[in-house]
Amino acid sequence: MYGASKVASRQSAAAGTEAIHHPIFRQFPCWKGIVPPDFIVNFLGVLTRVDYFEAYRDISNRYPEDRRVETDYPIFDEEYFEWIDVLEATVAAEDHFTMLELGAGYGRWTANAAAALRILGKSRSTFVAVEAEPTHFQWWSQHLAANSVDSSNLRLVQAAVAGTDGKVGFHLEDPHYVGPARWYGQHMGGPHSIDAVSLNTLLQPLNSVDLIDIDVQGAELQVLQAGAQQLDEQVKRIHIGTHGSDIEAGLHSLFSRLGWICVRSFPCGGSAETEWGPFMFQDGVQSWLNPSFSRVPNDEIVILSEKLAASRREGLRLWQELENMRAERQRVHTIDRASLTWKVLVRAGRFRDLLAPPGTRRRKMIESIVKKS
């Protein structure tokens, strides 16, 4: 669910998910106040129009008549880890906070990060937001304005995020499309030709980046592989929404080769055990940290040595995987050849029985010749 009010939190508690929140939340007191009509609010005080998601109107309708609300921290679901990454990134930021939100609807996490920075008293920031769906893109500007995010710190790009710049086919509607407030699953591969922008292009004008939040509906591996070098050089932390086991395995291989630290990884489409109990994951979650930007005072040679060791380990794993595949192919090939030989022998035996039936003089002569040879 996209909203996080006390109403939603009570629903989560009723489902048996009472637990101690991650310590990062202690730095952000829960907002309380009067919520305007047709809005909901989260614990940072971020206001969201009910038009953006159909479930929001139900939340708003359950607010008290005077609209005075005391918020609570987020419910325990797959998005809880996104909250942790966003809040930890804002707390860790020093002179300037930079964030890319790639393919995320109406700019929800950009607004959340801006609100967190405001609470922390950090004013210098840069946000780059990329969204392809036209209505969601319009909502993005509207949402950030409603939450007083300084437009001079924003770069909004209406495009799909892809491995290269140019044009891509895009699905703007699903077969049962009922409007932008009910579907956020737009993805590449559809009939609509739209602009595409690469991660390299987005990173090029920036210095270091505190956080990339990426949810691009199955294109995440393609996007990150194409921009791996700049990603490794510029980005401190990444939060990825994943969409498939092959993609998840590819991401693990990519970031292991780069020597990054896996903070959390939960596969999509099932239940997984977490620090806060079992969660259901529709999208998967991967969170990675770049040790090159570690605040621990490590010598540069030590960091490079650790990244090299991680790359070697991943290289050995991939080599072993290749050897296993080669051995399996050889085994299958041997079985096929043996099977073919057996078929030839069986047919030869039948032909022999036809020419020289068992017990006949001709058969005995053939058997005598075979024994001598």
pLDDT bucket at 64, cuts 50 / 70 / 90:
very high
Contact 251, 267 (CB under 8 A): no
336-350 confidence digits (pLDDT tens): 656 666 666 667 777
The whole-angstrom separation of Cα 206 and Cα 155 is 12
Mean pLDDT in residue range 90-99: 96
What φ, ψ does residue 244 adopt, rounded to 5°?
140, 145
Whole-number pLDDT of residue 147:
95
The whole-angstrom separation of Cα 268 and Cα 253 is 17
255-308 confidence digits (pLDDT tens): 999 999 999 999 999 999 999 999 999 999 999 999 999 766 556 556 666 666
144-189 confidence digits (pLDDT tens): 999 999 888 899 999 989 999 999 876 665 545 455 444 444 445 4
The separation between the first and the last C-alpha atoms of the chain, rounded to the nearest angstrom, is 81
Whole-number pLDDT of residue 357:
77
Task: Select from 285, 282, 248, 280 the least CA-distant residue to 81.
Answer: 285
Amino acid found at 98 = T
pLDDT bucket at 194, cuts 50 / 70 / 90:
confident
Strand, coil or helix: 274 = strand
Whole-number pLDDT of residue 274:
95
- At residue 119's C-alpha, the angle toward residues 114 and 124, to 5°, is 50
The whole-angstrom separation of Cα 326 and Cα 118 is 56
Q: Classify residue 352 by its DSSP letter.
A: H
Task: Select from 302, 341, 125, 307 the least CA-distant residue to 233.
Answer: 307
Burial of 131 (0-12, 13-18, 19+ CB in 10 A): buried
What does pLDDT average to over the chain? Answer: 83
Task: Select from 73, 78, 79 the least CA-distant residue to 26.
Answer: 73
pLDDT at 60 over 50: yes
